[in-house]
Homo-oligomer: A and B are copies of this chain.
């Protein structure tokens, strides 16, 4: 069991979140390393970390939490009046209009309804690092399902697809927009494309380490075949395919910061981005108006996720995280990462949340401890008013 000290600070009224974080730590292994940061109405109220060699300044790959950055840029362009969610993707990007996808709207693309979840023949690491290569490969594809009638997680490609729309429309990449409009002005520790000078703070993600019971559970399942939707979406068609958990451990991925899974951040960076989005931070105004936040928090897809095989709820790109954390309001928007990380904003309570961990949690996706931590943070925020 974890013997590490919980480090960092909490504001008055949020002591219970520190206690919960310490309780999570105590239940984990000795090498558990994690960060938790929470903002309330734009003010940092929780900033905790634990684990050997880990600090509040440590950076790790945050996997699909990266998507939140891409969707925030998208929301800004919609708010500007530059991008129209009702417009067809093929209007901005003609090559995408092939094989029955000509009527698909930007809104449907963001809701994971396009049905082009991966490339049957697979991608190399270098290809996955480059959003333009991914977009070019996906554009001509026949969807695996009828566009608009179902949905499934476009795990490694959605960032490239919305990125291509943004690039065609504005002449600039999502990564550039994020750096200029979001990361730099708000001082976020969250990079889509990690500069060399920040490399020293980066720590590689450690592989999942199932318990014998967890491994037995995996072994008892009928495994998905190489050309299942699951393995196409996660690019696991071949025995030598790059494991998802290693992706940001490759410098080429970190350096280019593909918008689906290439982001590098601390929990501080995750939480501060969502605080900047709905509340503003340190005197800077919120990035999104309440109207834009509500538009992007509107539920678009609900039911069986054809890729993961689990029930899911997507807003406009963002995960509708209230389906995981019942305490949150109907318009809460965020995104988890495969490593176990989680990040969101809850306009109804003014909370912004970032959680990151160094070792992949079993069985992948938002780690179970987020349930306890979110509940504690929401309860404290409710008392704080």
Inter-chain contact B144/A326, CB cutoff 8 Å: no
Stretch of A18-26, A40-48, A159-167, A221-229 at the chain-chain interface: A221-229
Shortest CB–CB separation between residue A344 and chain B, in angstroms?
Answer: 13
Please tell me how many copies of the chain the complex holds.
3
Inter-chain contact B142/A330, CB cutoff 8 Å: no
- Contacts A227-B348, A304-B311; is A232 near B330 (CB within 8 Å)? yes
Q: Is A146 in contact with chain B by the CB < 8 A criterion?
A: yes
Name the contact of A228 in the complex, choosing from B301, B304, B328 (C-beta under 8 A).
B328
Q: Which B residues touch A227, using CB under 8 A?
A: 328-331, 348-349
Q: Is A77 in contact with chain B by the CB < 8 A criterion?
A: no
Q: Is A169 in contact with chain B by the CB < 8 A criterion?
A: no
Q: Which B residues touch A229, using CB under 8 A?
A: 322, 330
Q: Is A210 in contact with chain B by the CB < 8 A criterion?
A: no
Q: Which B residues touch A371, using CB under 8 A?
A: 222
Interface residues on A, range: 35 or more
Q: Is A92 in contact with chain B by the CB < 8 A criterion?
A: no
8 A Cβ contacts from A339-385 to B: 348-349, 371, 375, 378, 382
Q: Is A75 in contact with chain B by the CB < 8 A criterion?
A: no
Inter-chain contact B306/A304, CB cutoff 8 Å: no
CB-defined A-B contacts under 8 Å, sample of 25: A120-B348, A142-B295, A144-B299, A144-B330, A145-B298, A145-B299, A146-B298, A146-B300, A150-B302, A222-B371, A224-B327, A225-B326, A225-B327, A225-B328, A225-B329, A225-B348, A227-B328, A227-B330, A227-B331, A228-B326, A228-B327, A229-B322, A299-B306, A302-B304, A303-B303
